Chains A and B, each alone.
Chain A
Amino acid sequence: MTAPKPTLDTVENAAATPDEEQPFASLGLKPDEYQRIKDILGRRPTAAELAMYSVMWSEHCSYKSSKIHLSKFGAKTTDEMKKHLLVGIGENAGVVEIGDGWAVTFKVESHNHPSFVEPYQGAATGVGGIVRDIISMGARPVAVMDQLRFGDVEHPDTARVVHGVVSGVGGYGNSLGLPNIGGELVFDASYQGNPLVNALCLGVLRHEDIHLANASGVGNKVVLFGARTGGDGIGGASILASETFEDGVPAKRPSVQVGDPFMEKVLIECCLELYAAEVVEGIQDLGAAGISCATSELASNGDGGMHVWLDDVLLRDPTLNAGEILMSESQERMMAVVTPAKLEQFLAITKKWDVETAVIGEVNDSGRLTIDHHGQRIVDVDPRTVAHEGPVYDRPYARPAWQDGLNADTTVAAGLARPATGDELRAAALAVLGSPNHSSKAWVTNQYDRFVQGNTALAQPDDSGVVRVDESTNLGVALSTDANGRYAKLDPRTGAQLALAEAYRNVATTGARPLAITDCLNFGSPEDPDSMWQLVEAIEGLADGCFELGTPVTGGNVSLYNGTGEPGQIDSSIHPTPVVGVLGVIDDVTRATASGWRTEGQTIFLLGTTRAELDGSAWADVVHRHLGGVPPRLDLAAEKALADVLVNASRDELVDAAHDLSEGGLVQALLESCLRYGVGARVSIAGLVERDGVTEFEALFSESVARAVVSVPRGEEQRLVDACVARGVPLLKLGETGAVVGDEPALVVDGLFEVPLAEAREVFEGALPAIFG
């Protein structure tokens, strides 16, 4: 292949041609941002510098619209909350200590837009990216989760996206040997044309294994290893090519990144061997903005200077120009800083794993990031101005004009017909149970490996994923994520807090003590004041909620511009979707509480208070396709008390099974608890109707927070009652596990209806296969 001889835009040339027009707008830079680059440099940027600044100052990399609001997380984190935090916000992922010298690192990240363009590769590379974040902290990745949101199941394009994304998450994660321990699956018309693909990775390490992204030590080598650099993900940068190459080029650049999970698996093992050999001073994964990001971040986090010889980057496509090499988002690459003395050992390890490696630069104390190409200087910048000192915007935001109308349109005001008779209640319960959003997720999760690594104690459909960290003690962690976009649409502040509350409750339900938070904030355009208001409300709500629960945010991701409509309309953007992940610690994962009844003859209790809260509920959605009113009332004090009861009851073996109440309310929780292991139950809700002053319908379908159902072994009832009384958690006996109708296990709601589990199972497990095959 012969590339035309490039005419380089050197630093010298840039200084000499101050008035040359540059395609900054096509690269996404605003005129004032371009001017700021010129002010920083004291000249116009070279083409390569323009490429670097444009990607690093993008919303995706710089968080320029959310930064001033995200700082509230830090401001609301007390020293007490930080006591388990070994690494906080700002690094590739937070690190939390969990005892016995062990630590875990975890983070959730989005890959929404690529997953609409090419669902398989978009989802696959989304998993790949978050896994590399975890590796770069020095940890072994041990589990993944995926939070998926798609358009309406009836829409003709939804199946394409669902099949591609699920195969992509599975195809990549399964090939890495990472158990998938849970996630979310939601269908809603608001995500049509804008699916959300979030992925979470959990890693395990010893305290002393923590690695950070900084380039320190003058004379240390900068090493790029893994896959070769190709033209992936630089569609927008091609316009630079026309300026720096002569006629007839360049080749078309793919905007789609293709993942190679085999390469990533090898990279994981290779990195862990490099860490064990102690030959890595600093390390950074290459994700968005590729080499631009890695070099500028490593340099500005370290001694501040670095020189790079761009010709030494191993290329898959030799026609790439300097700007393209710097912007390329080719997957499965890492950058390490290595002392000269350890370089040989480093190279021997990458060679053992057949991982291609190139020394491309050196750390210095110049305070500059300089890059040479074909022997000429094409970049000379202060790396901090690229990596950390990008523009910050205080975007206008205001409560949307349509918000009041939405909140006034309650399920009562809308006059939605409510089921009243036993038959009507039964029909509504089965309608929710068999709806795409509330039916069994097995069609998806059966495409994921949950056994690999041999440490999975709980996985979907349990409330949280639970994995063992230490084989000698069974110490482990529980993880759950949640977001209810419908609640967040009704009230983004409360919606974000409700997501936090549910994930927190899910973790506590297994018996794990909640410890730390990660979040992925999926919102509409920051240039639409409506969406911006939703984002600000959600961040403030989440920061307040984390403060009240005493669990710090350790890191996460913001994804904006999720919307396809004109600004200002009620349907301009997706439902605001703040995905919140809660991590908890459990001393012995083999004693994690099950999410369904396993034994007949145990007493079933309901913990918590039920109010008439049906706005935004699963019932309103499934039966009436209605969204309006206000979400359930938040009560974090009640959540804390409930969590305390659940964690202690698990440790003291007072509960055999526990399942949280959320979407679909009590009846959904009872059905799921029965279906988990095929054990029925007989309950009466008469006491609940009387105590909480609600109707039978409200008792069964309300989505009030801070509630759970538990089954208690014979003889332990009084101890559980005492535990609840001591912490002020309302408790009510509902009935007993093990009901049979005919010869069949069933859920019997006294005086109202009964559902044989075989019938319920068909409804529950048949829904998604019927739609997606």
Chain B
Amino acid sequence: MAAATGARIGVVTFPGTLDDRDAARAVRLAGAEAVALWHADDDLQGVDAVVLPGGFSYGDYLRAGAIARFAPMMDKIVDAAHGGLPVLGICNGFQLLTESHLLPGSMIKNNHLHFICREQVLTVENASTVWTNEYAAGERITIPLKNQDGQYVADERTLDELEGEGRVAFRYEGVNPNGSRRGIAGITNARGNVVGLMPHPEHAVEAGFGPDSEHGAKAGTDGLRFFTSVIASLVHA
């Protein structure tokens, strides 16, 4: 399908990935072409950005993202991210980014030990990354959260650094649903091209199938601007 913007965004599938088709739909709804990337390949097919979607790669049996990080495709993505390629890691994708050391810290089991699925309010704290530039700093958005290992942890020095450098991209608002340190829901690298978060923006892109919002039941589309943000930054680049 030819996309209006001409942007091509890769969505990677690992064994056990669950939200790849959702992420591809979000990319399309935002106006870009979704390019399916397979973990075992090592060709990025010239994509302009990459989404690492949610799921349970390799069952999350060792640690979330721990086995998937060694996929040939991940080698390419890590290299390209160092060169400035926009990369968004959602949930398992965020865990993968920390296992790959593109982002600091790690995720452990939720503090209440249950899987949790809820419509979560977040504050956008950094609206200058390539994935958040269409939000306003301080804006509150509602997107679904669903995970088992979502408690963000890092040592105090790392947390201070993240705060000091404005690299906390999203913070949980109201409820801290999993015990994450300092309520951190998502972070960015210093350059602002690599962003990871636990909640799922790709589940809040289409009225009728998203979270409830002031526009009506299931009407929330607050997640769409992740994808329009990166398209905008690609077009302006």
- Taking Cβ atoms with an 8 Å cutoff, the residues of A that contact B are 167, 170-171, 174-177, 260-263, 265-266, 352-354, 445-458, 468, 471, 474, 589-590, 594, 598, 677
> Residue among B117, B203, B205, B216 with the most chain A CB within 10 A?
B117
Contact of B25 among A175, A454, A677 (CB under 8 A): A454
- Contact, CB under 8 Å: A261 / B203: no
- Contact, CB under 8 Å: B56 / A594: no
- Contact, CB under 8 Å: A174 / B146: yes
B55 at the A/B interface (Cβ < 8 Å)? yes
| Per-position binary interface string of chain B over residues 198-226, scored 1 when its CB falls under 8 Å from any chain A CB and 0 otherwise | 00101101111100100011100000000
Known contacts A175-B56, A447-B117, A451-B144; decide if A266 and B15 are in contact (CB<8 Å): yes
User: 8 new A-B pairs (CB below 8 Å) besides A353-B15, A445-B117, A457-B209?
Assistant: A262-B16, A262-B56, A451-B144, A451-B203, A457-B208, A590-B208, A598-B217, A677-B217
- Contact, CB under 8 Å: A265 / B216: no
Contact of A262 among B58, B117, B146, B200 (CB under 8 A): B58
Q: Which residue of B lies closest to A442 (CB)?
A: B118
Q: Which residue of A lies closest to B177 (CB)?
A: A446
In the bound complex, CA of A598 to CA of B19 (Å): 30
B21 at the A/B interface (Cβ < 8 Å)? yes
In the bound complex, CA of A176 to CA of B209 (Å): 19
Q: Which residue of B lies closest to A265 (CB)?
A: B16
> Residue among B16, B22, B40, B144 with the most chain A CB within 10 A?
B16
Q: Chain A contacts of B117 at CB under 8 A?
A: 445-451
In the complex, how many angstroms separate the beta carbon of B199 from the nearest chain A beta carbon? 10
A-B contact count, CB below 8 Å?
90
- Contact, CB under 8 Å: A452 / B18: yes
Known contacts A265-B56, A452-B22; decide if A589 and B208 are in contact (CB<8 Å): yes
Q: Chain B contacts of A447 at CB under 8 A?
A: 114-117
- Contact, CB under 8 Å: A177 / B18: yes
Closest 8 CB pairs of A and B: A262-B59, A177-B18, A590-B208, A451-B203, A454-B22, A451-B144, A175-B56, A449-B146
Q: Chain A contacts of B216 at CB under 8 A?
A: 598
In the bound complex, CA of A457 to CA of B205 (Å): 13
In the complex, how many angstroms separate the beta carbon of B55 from the nearest chain A beta carbon? 6
> Residue among A170, A174, A445, A452 with the most chain B CB within 10 A?
A452
Q: Could you pull out 10 A-B pairs where Cβ atoms are within 8 angstroms?
A: A174-B56, A174-B148, A175-B16, A177-B18, A352-B40, A450-B117, A452-B146, A457-B218, A590-B207, A594-B217
Q: Chain B contacts of A354 at CB under 8 A?
A: 15
- Contact, CB under 8 Å: B18 / A265: yes
In the complex, how many angstroms separate the beta carbon of A409 from the nearest chain B beta carbon? 41
In the bound complex, CA of A265 to CA of B58 (Å): 10
Q: Chain B contacts of A455 at CB under 8 A?
A: 209
In the complex, how many angstroms separate the beta carbon of A606 from the nearest chain B beta carbon? 23
Contact of A453 among B21, B61, B118, B212 (CB under 8 A): B21
In the complex, how many angstroms separate the beta carbon of B215 from the nearest chain A beta carbon? 11
In the bound complex, CA of A175 to CA of B149 (Å): 13
Q: Chain A contacts of B25 at CB under 8 A?
A: 454, 471
Q: Which residue of B lies closest to A179 (CB)?
A: B117
- Contact, CB under 8 Å: B18 / A262: no
Q: Chain A contacts of B19 at CB under 8 A?
A: 177, 452
In the bound complex, CA of A419 to CA of B212 (Å): 37
Q: Chain A contacts of B22 at CB under 8 A?
A: 452-454
In the bound complex, CA of A171 to CA of B116 (Å): 11
- Contact, CB under 8 Å: B207 / A262: no
Q: Chain B contacts of A265 at CB under 8 A?
A: 15-16, 18, 56
In the bound complex, CA of A520 to CA of B115 (Å): 28
Q: Which residue of A lies closest to B38 (CB)?
A: A352
Q: Which residue of B lies closest to A262 (CB)?
A: B59
Q: Which residue of A lies closest to B212 (CB)?
A: A677
Q: Chain A contacts of B203 at CB under 8 A?
A: 451-452, 454
Q: Which residue of B lies closest to A588 (CB)?
A: B208
Q: Which residue of B lies closest to A467 (CB)?
A: B209
Q: Which residue of A lies closest to B203 (CB)?
A: A451
In the bound complex, CA of A176 to CA of B56 (Å): 8
In the complex, how many angstroms separate the beta carbon of B64 from the nearest chain A beta carbon? 12
Q: Chain A contacts of B209 at CB under 8 A?
A: 454-457, 468, 590
Residues B24-72 near A (CB distance < 8 A) = 25, 40, 55-56, 58-61
Known contacts A451-B200, A453-B21, A454-B25; decide if A446 and B116 are in contact (CB<8 Å): yes
In the complex, how many angstroms separate the beta carbon of A227 from the nearest chain B beta carbon? 12
In the complex, how many angstroms separate the beta carbon of A156 from the nearest chain B beta carbon? 21
In the bound complex, CA of A171 to CA of B19 (Å): 16
- Contact, CB under 8 Å: A170 / B115: yes
In the complex, how many angstroms separate the beta carbon of B228 from the nearest chain A beta carbon? 17
In the bound complex, CA of A171 to CA of B113 (Å): 12
In the bound complex, CA of A86 to CA of B59 (Å): 35
Known contacts A174-B115, A448-B117; decide if A266 and B16 are in contact (CB<8 Å): yes
In the complex, how many angstroms separate the beta carbon of B236 from the nearest chain A beta carbon? 29
Q: Chain A contacts of B59 at CB under 8 A?
A: 175, 260-263
> Residue among B60, B144, B203 with the most chain A CB within 10 A?
B203
Q: Which residue of A lies closest to B218 (CB)?
A: A457
- Contact, CB under 8 Å: B15 / A446: no
Q: Chain B contacts of A167 at CB under 8 A?
A: 114-115
In the complex, how many angstroms separate the beta carbon of A590 from the nearest chain B beta carbon? 4
Q: Which residue of A lies closest to B59 (CB)?
A: A262
Q: Chain B contacts of A353 at CB under 8 A?
A: 15
In the complex, how many angstroms separate the beta carbon of A673 from the nearest chain B beta carbon? 13
In the bound complex, CA of A456 to CA of B203 (Å): 10
Q: Chain A contacts of B146 at CB under 8 A?
A: 174, 449, 451-452
- Contact, CB under 8 Å: A262 / B202: no
In the complex, how many angstroms separate the beta carbon of B71 from the nearest chain A beta carbon? 12
Residues B109-152 near A (CB distance < 8 A) = 114-118, 144, 146, 148
Q: Which residue of B lies closest to A163 (CB)?
A: B114
In the complex, how many angstroms separate the beta carbon of A540 from the nearest chain B beta carbon? 41
In the complex, how many angstroms separate the beta carbon of A731 from the nearest chain B beta carbon? 25
In the bound complex, CA of A445 to CA of B146 (Å): 12
> Residue among A455, A471, A598 with the most chain B CB within 10 A?
A455
In the bound complex, CA of A35 to CA of B217 (Å): 63
Q: Which residue of A lies closest to B209 (CB)?
A: A454
In the bound complex, CA of A118 to CA of B98 (Å): 35
Contact of B56 among A261, A445, A677 (CB under 8 A): A261
Contact of B115 among A171, A262, A454 (CB under 8 A): A171
Q: Chain B contacts of A471 at CB under 8 A?
A: 25
In the bound complex, CA of A450 to CA of B119 (Å): 11
Residues B160-214 near A (CB distance < 8 A) = 200, 202-203, 205-209, 212
In the bound complex, CA of A263 to CA of B59 (Å): 8
In the bound complex, CA of A447 to CA of B147 (Å): 9
> Residue among A260, A446, A598, A677 with the most chain B CB within 10 A?
A446
In the complex, how many angstroms separate the beta carbon of A204 from the nearest chain B beta carbon? 13
In the bound complex, CA of A352 to CA of B55 (Å): 19
> Residue among B56, B115, B212 with the most chain A CB within 10 A?
B115
In the bound complex, CA of A260 to CA of B59 (Å): 8
Q: Which residue of B lies closest to A171 (CB)?
A: B115
Known contacts A177-B18, A262-B15; decide if A454 and B218 are in contact (CB<8 Å): no
In the complex, how many angstroms separate the beta carbon of A510 from the nearest chain B beta carbon? 12
Q: Which residue of B lies closest to A595 (CB)?
A: B217
